[in-house]
Amino acid sequence: MDTHTLHPAEGETLVDTAYRGLRHDIIAGIRPPRERLRIERLKALYGIGPTPLREALQKLAQDGLVVTEGNRGFRVAPLDPAEFADLNTARTAIEKEALRLSIAHGGNDWEARVVAASYIMAKEDAALSAASGAVPDSWERANTEFHAALVAACGSRWLLRVRAGLHDHCARFRRASVYQRLGSRDLGAEHAAISRAALDRDAERVCDLVERHFALTAAILEEDAGEDRPAP
């Protein structure tokens, strides 16, 4: 199924609902890079009227997930490896500082959260290695929680806020990179090594492992960038 009719959550406007649904589908790759986002087609797919859809698309354009084409409407933004490299540079710097602080300040509750997140991550990585098709939402949720657990004790709300924004911007690129190398990259081993280093309180090792983990994702996307073709 291409997508599904959207229903507003409690307190949501139709613009919010359209924004939430389109954002999810763009990040998940259901709406692929460069796809033309025709209002009439989106109405049929999502069950939302043209005015909320246009406002949602304008918000997504401000987020960089959609590009406007003058009077010709909207397209899903392409996956630009240079943009991801820039995002990855910023994300890595923020992540490493948050990791150092979290390892220094984390107590038993932090360790318990890391252990729990690592367990779920290992199960999702194992399932992903045998999967075909798009990266499941369950893997993405586990990956988000795994990396969030590692930095949860950093003690800086601003670091975590900036980090969360960068994580969201990287999500679409990350999914594409993971999908392109399903079965050829041992994500389970990468995540397990990061978890062990964190629980051993080895800040420099965990920072090095996370930097390499992020860099490999970016390198895969850059290597396969030639496969990104305009959608009809």
Task: Please write the tens of the pLDDT for every residue from 158-208.
Answer: 999 999 888 878 888 877 666 655 556 789 999 999 999 999 999 999 999
Give residue limits of the domains in the chain: 14-76, 81-226
Q: Which of 111, 122, 203, 187 is nearest to 149 (CA)?
A: 111
Taking only the tens place, the pLDDT of each residue in 115-170 is: 999 999 999 999 887 766 667 889 889 999 999 999 999 999 999 999 988 887 88
Range 14-76 classified under CATH 3.40.640.10? no
Q: What is the DSSP letter of 224?
A: T
Whether 161 and 180 have beta carbons less than 8 Å apart is answered as no
Q: What is the DSSP letter of 73?
A: -
Task: Fill in the amino acid letter for 137.
Answer: D
Taking the C-alpha atoms of residue 86 and residue 113, their distance in angstroms, rounded to an integer, is: 30
Instruction: Assess whether the region 14-76 and the region 81-226 belong to the same CATH fold.
Output: no
> Residues with Cβ < 8 Å from 165, sequence gap 6 or more?
none
In this structure, what token pair is assigned to residue 79?
């996956």
Res 230: pLDDT: 40
Question: Could you tell me the CATH superfamily of domain 81-226?
Answer: GntR ligand-binding domain-like (1.20.120.530)
The 8 Å CB, 24+ separation contacts for 92-97 are: 92/210, 92/211, 92/214, 92/215, 94/159, 94/162, 94/163, 94/166, 95/147, 95/151, 95/163, 95/210, 95/214, 96/207, 96/210, 96/211, 97/154, 97/159
Q: What is the DSSP letter of 131?
A: -
What is the CA angle 195-92-120, rounded to 5? 30
Whether 164 and 65 have beta carbons less than 8 Å apart is answered as no
Res 174: pLDDT: 77
Q: Whole-model pTM?
A: 0.77
Strand blocks (E) in 42-193: 66-68, 74-76
